[in-house]
Amino acid sequence: MTIGLALTPKDSLDMTPKTRISELPDFDMAESLWSKEDMALYLSLVLEAGDAAELTHALGVVAQVGNKWSSAPATVTTSPH
């Protein structure tokens, strides 16, 4: 004779802390675009999706990154010879 025990999700032993969406940090795509290649890939993906509103938003994000770069102080790098 076999006796089975069925656990419902309520009875599960998962002790993982739950995070509420309202507790998540805001995501800013501009912080993830580190190069012109990143920006080009981002725009390509948005264009593939075909959503005009998302494309408008993406162009604004890329412009925001470009403005940050143009207002940043110039850095000089030298290569050893």
CB 33 within 8 A of CB 39: yes
- Residue 52 is predicted with a pLDDT of 96
- Residue 36 is predicted with a pLDDT of 92
Q: Which has more pLDDT, 3 or 38?
A: 38
Domain boundaries, the chain: 29-69
Angle of helix 52-71 relative to helix 36-49, nearest 10 degrees, comes to 170
Residue range 17-29: mean pLDDT, rounded: 90
Per DSSP, 70 falls in state H
* Cα Dmax for the chain: 82
pTM of the model: 0.59
CB 59 within 8 A of CB 40: no
Band (9; pLDDT cuts 50, 70, 90)? low
Judge whether residue 5 has pLDDT over 70: no
